[in-house]
Amino acid sequence: EPEVTQTPSHQVTQMGQEVILRCVPISNHLYFYWYRQILGQKVEFLVSFYNNEISEKSEIFDDQFSVERPDGSNFTLKIRSTKLEDSAMYFCASSQGVNYGYTFGSGTRLTVV
């Protein structure tokens, strides 16, 4: 079964550093998403991406965050200057579109120290 692949699985970074989380969505999917889950809490929407541009973003997705699909296969989330409260599990997801389900990657656990 096709998978969404995320790297790295774990990342520890110092406060103020930039991090890039990487995702390879399923190849024939058109819609891409980032979600995050702070430890012990529910999964929250960050941003959706379609046709090489952001479709929608949540209040969490402020100017410190950016997404990119640099080469037609990778989908990245960049956090420019990490804060302690950015520590969370970040999930990438992709979908073929409306009336299809979402497939989630295994997540990147980001710890900001």
Partner 1 sequence: GIQVEQSPPDLILQEGANSTLRCNFSDSVNNLQWFHQNPWGQLINLFYIPSGTKQNGRLSATTVATERYSLLYISSSQTTDSGVYFCAVDTYSGAGSYQLTFGKGTKLSVIP
Binding site for partner 1 (CB under 8 A): 31, 33, 35, 37, 41-45, 48, 50, 55-56, 89, 91, 93, 98-104, 106-107, 109
Residue closer to partner 1 (CB basis): 80 or 111: 111
Residue closer to partner 1 (CB basis): 9 or 81: 9
Smallest separation (angstroms) from partner 1 to the CB of 53: 11
Would you give the DSSP letter of residue 43? -
Residue closer to partner 1 (CB basis): 35 or 79: 35
Q: Half-sphere exposure (CA, 13 Å, Cβ side) for 51? A: 3
Smallest separation (angstroms) from partner 1 to the CB of 9: 9
- Please give the C-alpha separations between residue 57 and each of 12, 25, 53, 82, 86, in angstroms, as whole numbers: 25, 19, 11, 18, 16
Interior/surface letters 88-111, b for 16+ CB within 10 angstroms, e for the rest: bbbbbbbbeeeeeeebbbebbbbe
Residue closer to partner 1 (CB basis): 3 or 18: 3
Smallest separation (angstroms) from partner 1 to the CB of 16: 25
